Amino acid sequence: MSPPDDALTDDARATSRRGVLKTGLAGGVLLAFYLPVRAAGDLPLRLANEPNQGPDDTAGTFAPNGFIRIARDGKTTLVMPQVEMGQGVYTSIAMILAEELDADFSKVVLEHAPPNDKLYGNPLFGIQATGNSNSIRSWWIPIRKAGATARAMLVAAAAQKWKVPTESCSATNGKVIHAASGRALAYADLVESAARVSPPKDPPLKDPKHFTLIGKPLKRLDTPTKVDGKTVYGIDALMPGMKFASITASPVFGGKVAHVDDTAARAVPGVQKVIVLDDMVAVVGDHTWAAMKGLAALDVTWDEGTHAAVTSEAIWRDLRAASARPGAVAKSVGDVERGLGQGDRLEAAYELPFLAHATMEPMNCTAQLKGGSCEVWLGTQIMTRVQGAVAKQLGIPPERVTVHNHFLGGGFGRRLESDMAVKAVRVAQQLNGEPVKVIWTREEDIRQDIYRPVYRDTISASLAGGKIQAMRYKVAGASIMARWFPAGFQKGIDIDAVDSAVDTPYDIPNLSVEYVRAEPAAVPTGFWRGVGPNNNVFAIESFMDEAARKAGRDPIAFRRDMLGKSPRLRAALDLVAEKSGWGQPLPPRTGRGVCAQPSFASFIATVVEAEVAEDGEVRLRRVTSAVDTGIAVNPDTIVAQLQGGLIFGLTAALHGEITIDGGRVTQSNFHDYRVLRIDEVPPIEVHIIASGEAPGGIGETGCTAGPPALRNALYAATGIPLRRLPIDREVLAGRKKA
């Protein structure tokens, strides 16, 4: 929440955005858009100089909305409501703004938005969060309206100066042009007069045929500083007098500290302090190396608590039992019971394991307490939740917590949590006001993650006439929404857990989708790249291949005949079949597998070509994807995101699994939580289908596409219907039953 005006300090009030407009500070016009929680595309716009409606660049009052600043030097600043974690959203949203504003793209700069759910809330979530591949699709209309409003005001200001009709003027590349007289004024020369123009109520948006930026493969704005090392991630934050700390928590979920012998740790050069809390221990030093060396030297005895007997085997046993129960009905079409009694029956169950995020940048946060306030520096996908969690830990109002957000060295859903900030603040509470940077070791990062849940999906279907006539689909797994976003868990249904199941693209006349909430003992679960669809797309697309084989049909032809209501996905399927060489001869024990999905409002078809050695080892030979993601704002970003997502998903399919023994995660680093090596990554081709539809999401579609397409390639190569990930090489080698 924004602080009430009477809660602001004199300095804060003087330098608020409202104050800036009143005093004309910096000679700029400030334009913003207010975004209530309602459907994107029908959002009113209003000036930023209304009470408590704007960002404060210096004093920490919170910017409640995305906004534009145009300064006298011609610089256009976009305060970004979303965060950049490698997905290219900073460039793409800047392109959208510059397109409608007709700004000079070379003069567009960006700033992180400060935390404020009320006015920076993601239009699809209602809270300030970056995730679910919706940055472009949620801000597509609001950002365009903001740019169009600013452009209209600038044009009106120029027309007033020239005393000509507004409609006789146009804008281009940061200038207003009056073609009849040959006159032109730069936006920089219009900022003061534009500030006095009343904004239009509903400015017209550009026809896509007039786009000059959108659709071009422009270079990313964040690339140069990432290449030369100037980019500051959360882990890079530095302040004068800063201390460094590393932490360790109980290896058993929920355990507490019993005893600490810190003799050896204190002897490490540079170690200054050992902090023992109820559930974790921190070593504070002059630098990160001292803190981590001191941490390694600690002798900690843990009270393991009630979860020391939890194992993967017990978790799977409980989940399988839960999946046999009736679930809450998320969708029901036709008469499933009657339909299942007709035609050939097929049943299968699919299982996905716990997964860690293992971002390149381990969890970290820098915190400083001073005068009843707190500042934190980190990279987060949820600024306001970090602010609120820190405030709760300290027992202070949220407005006394300043969150400095940075680029994220990977998020994948892990940074939708605030635990790293709370732990850093708990360490800072034991110091004397010095800033302290808390960095997790890689081992701590993996063993104290918030894991992708285990899932079990059961499917029963009947086949007749070469098509699926009826299908009962049931998802069993943890409800992330019940914890993270309760509005998404109503009447026993987790909307994320059934995503890409309730909206399956296939024409199935009798269909039911159920959800059974089954929380694993002790293990904390959260969002993982691909969220609900990475589970449901795997199960449904794996089942489609088995159903096609039972029907005696080609897997692509089988799918295509059930896509009458999804022409965009059918077109993607046709294109990927052509580009991948579908149907052409392959060597022995080599196969092609397909996946078709409508996830995240994009339509993508993927073919993986893979070879299985006699010992069960898998070699990826080639990956081909065709995607209709609507209007392609920046085609290069789409290609890069699909390639990265495919590698991420294929890594999980081949190697990804977190296992529990004695209440502990048994994996600890990349030696036993593998990622694909560069020599294991196959050629990846991405074909973008031209479209005039609104943009869809792209950051997670590759992640959800890779595993089922690979599984189906292995099915084609060996005839073995794997139904659990990661890929079991013992089964592929014939040494173990599936």
Question: Average pLDDT for residues 333-349, to the nearest whole number?
Answer: 97
671 and 652 part of one domain: yes
82 and 22 part of one domain: yes
511, 468 Cβ separation under 8 angstroms: no
Last residue of a domain, one of 183, 198, 227: 227
163 and 271 part of one domain: no
Cα–Cα distances in angstroms (integers) from residue 550 to residues 460, 461, 493, in the given order = 13, 11, 32
Question: Average pLDDT for residues 516-529, to the nearest whole number?
Answer: 98
The closest alpha carbon to 642, from 521, 518, 479, 529, belongs to 529
* Helices assigned H by DSSP within 268-335: 288-297, 312-323
Count of structural domains within the chain: 3
- Residue 442 pLDDT > 90: yes
Place of tokens 């943009």: 695
Length of the chain: 738
Q: What is the C-alpha to C-alpha distance for residues 738 and 723, in angstroms, rounded to an integer?
A: 8
Give pLDDT, residue 2: 33
**Bridge partners for 459 per DSSP:** 348, 473
Question: Average pLDDT for residues 421-449, to the nearest whole number?
Answer: 98
- Residue 446 pLDDT > 80: yes
Last residue of a domain, one of 204, 227, 250: 227
Each residue of 231-258: pLDDT tens digit? 999 999 999 999 999 999 999 999 999 9
**Within a domain: residue 247?**
yes
300 and 321 part of one domain: no
Contacts of 724 (CB under 8 A, 6+ apart): 350, 351, 352, 353
469, 335 Cβ separation under 8 angstroms: no
223 and 238 part of one domain: no
**Within a domain: residue 445?**
no
446, 673 Cβ separation under 8 angstroms: yes
Residue 300: give the domain boundaries. 234-305+363-439
297 and 327 part of one domain: no
Last residue of a domain, one of 199, 227, 255: 227
Tell me whether residue 671 is exposed, middle or buried, using C-beta atoms within 10 angstroms of its C-beta: 0 to 12, 13 to 18, 19 or more.
exposed
Q: What is the C-alpha to C-alpha distance for residues 245 and 308, in angstroms, rounded to an integer?
A: 28
203 and 343 part of one domain: no
Mean pLDDT in the chain?
Answer: 90
Element (H, E) at 622: strand 618-628
407 and 550 part of one domain: no
120 and 251 part of one domain: no
Give pLDDT, residue 116: 87
369 and 349 part of one domain: no
> pTM for the whole thing?
0.90
Place of tokens 């081992």: 443
Cβ count near 662 (within 10 Å): 13
Question: Average pLDDT for residues 333-340, to the nearest whole number?
Answer: 98
Q: What is the C-alpha to C-alpha distance for residues 448 and 444, in angstroms, rounded to an integer?
A: 6
CATH number of the domain within which 222 lies: 3.30.365.10
431 and 559 part of one domain: no
Question: Average pLDDT for residues 296-305, to the nearest whole number?
Answer: 98
**Within a domain: residue 343?**
yes
Reported as a pLDDT band with limits 50, 70 and 90, residue 112 is: confident
**Within a domain: residue 579?**
yes
The closest alpha carbon to 566, from 653, 679, 663, 693, belongs to 693
**Within a domain: residue 590?**
yes
Give pLDDT, residue 347: 98
642 and 689 part of one domain: yes
Reported as a pLDDT band with limits 50, 70 and 90, residue 195 is: confident
